[in-house]
Structure 1
């Protein structure tokens, strides 16, 4: 080894170690911002339920679900817009994988807080939100397979393809579904409030936040949401750097790590809501996040010019979609059947979700095929 190598290799190694340490520091700081902002956001969401006479489930579905999914929208659109890394598989995998992990968050919240039969404490009216999210994931799955099953109908699946601008017909459908379903959930929530069939947003002792300014609370909530978006975007990039530093890219551990990092806003806000016993808000935020995620996929299709993001992509995404449907179905079973059976402090329905989630993880990451 020559003298230059003797001098500079240790310096390079030291610089590399310093870069890794700084990346971890950024990761912890950004995660801390998300945790603090997420806890604040759930508290402001509780104020909104009283000020606007809305249910916790609806506030979670629309406001918190939207805020926690914005980082994923920025990351997905950035990946599609960058010609060097643009890949439809990344967009579809990111959205489907996020929806899958989000549903696992519900089981994780129930297991962490050990509240017994978890779904018996959640408003049954959230079945509607869950069912609508299933319709949207089914539509996205149909967008993946329709061009293969019916190859002779290219003009139908890609109506603008002749002009060189490729957008799937399903992107228009999913966009329409998102806004239609949001209005439907709002009207259903209002109907339940008027009929007195849903849980009252106001505690028995009377208004809890009468002294809170509505305008000031909205402003602070927007600041908290903005902090989650800002920190969530940079946390995702920082997590990707950590994967590269530690050579985790090709491993299951690395993939799961990135899924947790990108879904940290959803995880923190759901745990924060459950800590305040706002179980409807925790579950509603997950269903709302999943529906918003699928709208993001449709938006990505409009922005990705070379082809539609829905086709051709890996068949593994269909497996992910199937397990999203299975976990969503278990949520509906839990919300309607409301079993009292449990093992330890965790309900049987939640245990079933955890088992199914890890079966799906195994199949998704170890199955053969493109």
Structure 2
């Protein structure tokens, strides 16, 4: 059965029929797979361009990955969450951000297990621990604001939004200062790289790929919502996992390509930065929504937001305890397990 008004059809400006025929259902799945192919291609290209920009500009992988690449791969989340606000569906907007951040941490943990011989958290720039710490502080605000917040006069937003924005700007300042020194992964030697692009070509290619990700990622989101409608999954589960997983596909591919390019710093920074940027998206939704969006969202998001905070804390531990752990894969395994717990909780609930 189809919902009377799905996110995909609402965006297009049409109403759905009461039922979806088999032909229409098949078309949705084909559309979904096509969007995946285009998104994967764009994500592969944007990772290569980001890797080149980090060297050619001299800005380094930490700054490029945390803000430039992370912002580009998070563009589908912007469309999804903002569309949810205009549909007066705060649960979908909040669930998309929480679910995307949970899935992003899962991506990093899974690749850490897959590339365990590299010991990612031991070789990345230790300064990434500070951006991860900012992420933890921002995530911890969500479960609190779901129950209590103070609305800021004239702005019509919760004080939690102002705090999150302040933390993001502070993280930008910290990363910029830390990126002023040359970065080098531990246990590696400088190897001259034959550049395939000029800085101008890399920047042009980056923005072209970012626009492609925005379009294909948005189509992926809407097709995913239609699939959720056809299969009859619950709205909370859809917002936190199906849609969130779809919009996080660019992050997954960029991390994979970054590892293939032997740029662990770029891979980790893109995930941590995406989570920070997603919190800004939540703030944008709060400005657009009539009242505090977290106060209007269901308290069912409490469990997943708490688990997101826990996984963020585990990530901080993994980075800061890089040389003090006897079992290296422990944190990544815990992040994977807590993600499974969150998925089961939302599906059952």
For normalisation by structure 1, the TM-score amounts to: 0.81
**Which residue, out of 178, 182, 190, partners 1:204?**
190
Q: Deviations over 1:180-200 (max 9, x none)?
A: 32122111221x32xx6x449
**Which residue, out of 128, 144, 149, partners 1:126?**
128
Distance 1:347 1:299 in 2: 36
Other-structure match for 2:82: 77
**Which residue, out of 315, 331, 341, partners 1:349?**
331
Q: Residues 199 and 113 of structure 1: is their aligned pair in 2 closer, same or farther, counting only changes over 3 Å? A: closer
For normalisation by structure 2, the TM-score amounts to: 0.85
1:219-298 matches, cutoff 5 A? 219-249=204-234, 256-298=241-283
**Which residue, out of 13, 33, 53, partners 1:28?**
33
Structure 1 portions without partners, runs of 5+: 1-11, 148-155
What is the DSSP-based 3-state SS (H/G/I as helix, E as strand, rest coil) of the residue aligned with 1:100? Answer: helix
Other-structure match for 2:61: 56
What is the DSSP-based 3-state SS (H/G/I as helix, E as strand, rest coil) of the residue aligned with 1:358? Answer: helix
**Which residue, out of 145, 148, 155, partners 1:146?**
148
Distance 2:108 2:272 in 1: 10
**Which residue, out of 159, 163, 188, partners 1:169?**
159
Deviation at 1:94, TM superposition (A): 1.5
Q: Deviations over 1:309-357 (max 9, x none)?
A: 1213322322222211211121122212236756xxx823221221222
Deviation at 1:109, TM superposition (A): 1.6
**Which residue, out of 316, 336, 343, partners 1:332?**
316
Distance 1:116 1:49 in 2: 21
Other-structure match for 1:6: none
Distance 1:248 1:212 in 2: 45
Contact 1:34/1:228 (CA < 8 Å) preserved in 2?
Answer: yes
Contact 1:118/1:350 (CA < 8 Å) preserved in 2?
Answer: no
Q: Deviations over 1:194-245 (max 9, x none)?
A: xx6x449x97233532x63211210011001111111001110011111222
Contact 1:341/1:347 (CA < 8 Å) preserved in 2?
Answer: no
Q: Residues 159 and 119 of structure 1: is their aligned pair in 2 closer, same or farther, counting only changes over 3 Å? A: same
Contact 1:159/1:169 (CA < 8 Å) preserved in 2?
Answer: no
Distance 2:72 2:238 in 1: 27
**Which residue, out of 179, 183, 206, partners 2:173?**
183
Deviation at 1:365, TM superposition (A): 4.1
User: Which structure is larger by alpha-carbon Rg, 1 or 2?
Assistant: 1
Distance 2:300 2:239 in 1: 18
1:104 aligned onto 2:106: yes
Contact 1:249/1:255 (CA < 8 Å) preserved in 2?
Answer: no
Paired residues, what number?
Answer: 329
